[in-house]
Amino acid sequence: MPIFEFRCLQCGNLFEKLFINPKEEVELKCPECGSESLDRVISKANAVMGSGKGGKKPRLTSKSCSPGSSCHTLEIPGAGD
């Protein structure tokens, strides 16, 4: 299961987000201060996944889904085949 690690640019809090559904849209916010200014941290789990199918890495895309908040979608190569 893909786990992404994020660091809050606002307060420096480090937290993990587990993506159960690859196509699920999730709202990513810092659990501490609620900021959406996040930096993605490359963790071990990502390195393992990156060595999978064709060496393609899961991609996290963000878009705004409603005013004032953004949604993130995780795309895993090969998962939709």
The residue ranges that bind Zn ion (CB under 5 A) are 8, 10-11, 13, 30, 32-33, 35
CB of 69 to Zn ion, least distance (A): 15
CB of 40 to Zn ion, least distance (A): 14
Q: Which is nearer to Zn ion, 10 or 77 (CB)?
A: 10
User: Among 28, 25, 40, 38, which residue's Cα sits nearest to residue 73?
Assistant: 25
CB of 73 to Zn ion, least distance (A): 22
* 60, amino acid identity: L
Query: Quick count: other Cβ atoms within 10 Å of Cβ 21?
Result: 10
Residues paired with 30 in a beta bridge: none
